[in-house]
Chains A and B, each alone.
Chain A
Amino acid sequence: MAPLQLTGQVLDVRRAGLYTVLSLTAPGLAERTRPGHFLNIGIGGEESALLLRRSFAIYQVQSRGVYGGSVDIVVGVHGKGTQWLVDRRRHDTLSIVGPLGRPFTLPKEPANCILVGGGYGTAPLFMLADQLRERGCRVDVIAGAATEEKLFGTLEIKRAASTLTVTTDDGSMGVHGRVTDVLDDVITRSNADVVYACGPMGMLAAVAEVAAARGVYSQCSVEESMACGVGVCMTCVLPVIGDDGVTRMVRSCVEGPVFRGDRVRWSDVGTVPADTLGAPTGGH
């Protein structure tokens, strides 16, 4: 289904630790959204000097209610654009485009699934956990961050999970360490078939490596800087191996953001590997 371009109204702005959750009216969006989809938002109004839209994983959607449908996103402030966004107030209007990208694929048969979120990378995992459980899947969650305050929604996601394991780099909550320090054990304990992950690129690379070593299928939602979010600007590319075994620079906005963990050339992200289709040969 084609994405919508609409003007949404801010329903609520609430703090959640280091993050801000924005609820926006978005009629029609919920029906189109699947776990792993994202949306983007125009910053600063029509005459804004910040031209590029900011992209956010879709956290929650409501298809009904007095507003005819709404959507929630989690915002972390990284610069002027996200600062402007968290400064919005109820009744302000925002330009929304979504849902965008390729979502997570769900198993056809009940399966044992591990969901790994880094920082507020947990945001798209709530909807995923619910839908997996509806399909009879076992869901185990690992949430990790540098510090306790950089975790998002750990209490809430516990409800949808058989087990929740929290890790922090500084040991301020849960296991002192990284998500990959516990992933191996959780795979064994849950007899996992699939690992789903969303978070910083370094974490995804490590998760994909552990999953591959254990022979477990993985799906990773990547975080690449985007300009358009709809597939026309060619900014958000990364090297990915196709079904034909050929590496291409692919757009994370339309061919992702969810990729098979074993297909992304994690250690080559930020470069154009020499065997990429159409890589510079030295002639140009």
Chain B
Amino acid sequence: MSRALFTSGPLDASLALPAVDMATSIGAFETPAPVFTASGCAAAGKELDQFFDITAIGGIVTKSVMLNARSGRATPRMAETPSGMLNSIGLQGPGIDAFIEHDLAWLRQRGARTVVSIAGGSVEEYGKLASKLRSVEGISAIEVNISCPNVEDRGQVFACDPNAASNVIQAVRRNADTRTPIIAKLSPDVTDIVTIAQAVERAGADALAVINTTLGMVVDLETMRPALGGITGGLSGPAIRPIAVRCVWQIHQALPNLPILGMGGIRNGEDALQFILAGASAVSVGTVTFHDPSAPLRVQQELETALARRGFTTLRDAIGYAHRGPDLPEIDEDHE
């Protein structure tokens, strides 16, 4: 394995940088490219395919789908905040059957790698969703959105309780195709994210998606009421990036062998590199897609450049690189 080669100063931008092997894996899911869309920021890929080739990125993470069709919440569903936004969409979607028939069929025909995100109101609903996907071709992985209220436990969010989170992951593991990797998507709104990460790993998660939005609120000064129809909403965008990088760092430190799909306010290739160096094996670009609809592919190209400029020849070498021990004095063997 080749280690990073350090240059003492910035490389001349006019020099062609060597190509970087961008292949990575999320559990058993091997992908030639490391940048994904983020759930809820790309619908099911079709709209963004007008702006960039969706088969050229790691893949599409679809909007979380539930068992039945869902209207979502009343508007206003969005409020712009400094370097971010709040959303309270309420998981609007067609339900799993229509999703499989239309959205997944289109993605498969298009040849895009697809991570299906599922969401439920009970452990049983998550299990049913996983079994519905069992016989469907063309799914690279299942992402389990556990930032949903548990209707059987006074609306407590699954992701905030290690037992509830494990129960969901176990139900998905039991019902899903054994060859399909399961990615548990964690909420940052917990006292200790490592405890949740360890719990879902024991329950059978093959990887983690880190992080979901963090709960926020805006008061509209004209109406002097909450700006969102849903009162509170999920904060996303560059405003939450340092929280996300911290979560990736903490989890990678505790569970260095568990792959992480890192996300939270990634705007460019250097942002993405922070997540990789902190321990993510791949990244998702979410809210910034609303600012730049071709952002996922752009970020991937910029990440390759950012790796090459730092002397990496493979992305895998950079995963968790920020966790290494102190640098030893460099010995330049050529000049001895």
Contact = CB atoms under 8 A, between A and B. Distances in A.
B71 interface: yes
Interface string A42-75: 1000111111110000000000000000000000
Contact of A232 (B70, B71, B84, B289): B289
B75 A278 contact: no
Contacts of B55: none
Contacts of A233: 40-41, 78, 87, 89, 290
Contacts of B291: 42, 48, 51-53
Interface stretch (A116-124, A132-140, A268-276): A268-276
Nearest to A281: B68
B52 to A, nearest CB: 9
Interface string B63-97: 10000111111111110101111010100110100
B42 A272 contact: no
A199 B241 CA distance: 38
Interface in A229-258: 230-238, 248-249, 254
Contacts of A230: 47-48, 50-51, 293
Interface in B253-305: 267-268, 287-294
B58 interface: no
A246 B89 CA distance: 20
A216 B58 CA distance: 51
A97 B80 CA distance: 19
Contact of A51 (B47, B72, B83, B151): B83
Contacts of B229: 270
A165 interface: no
Interface string A130-172: 0000000000000000000000000000000000000000000
A254 B89 contact: no
A232 B47 contact: yes
Given A227-B78, A233-B87, A272 B290 contact: no
A278 B92 contact: yes
A97 B70 CA distance: 29
Interface string B14-52: 000000000000000000000000001111000110110
A227 B80 CA distance: 9
A227 B88 CA distance: 12
Contacts of B63: 234
A47 B237 CA distance: 12
Contact of A237 (B77, B82, B237, B288): B77
B59 interface: no
Given A53-B290, A225-B76, A235 B89 contact: yes
Interface in B220-250: 229, 237-238
B207 to A, nearest CB: 24
B181 interface: no
Contacts of A277: 69, 71
A20 interface: no
Interface of A: 2-3, 5, 42, 46-53, 95, 97, 224-225, 227-228, 230-238, 248-249, 254, 269-272, 276-280, 283-284
15 contacts: A42-B292, A46-B268, A48-B291, A51-B80, A51-B83, A230-B293, A232-B290, A235-B75, A235-B77, A270-B229, A272-B71, A272-B74, A277-B71, A278-B69, A280-B71
Interface of B: 40-43, 47-48, 50-51, 63, 68-78, 80, 82-85, 87, 89, 92-93, 95, 121, 149, 151, 229, 237-238, 267-268, 287-294
Given A3-B51, A234-B72, A249-B92, 14 more contacts: A5-B51, A42-B291, A51-B291, A52-B290, A224-B75, A233-B41, A237-B75, A238-B75, A270-B75, A270-B76, A272-B72, A272-B73, A276-B71, A279-B71
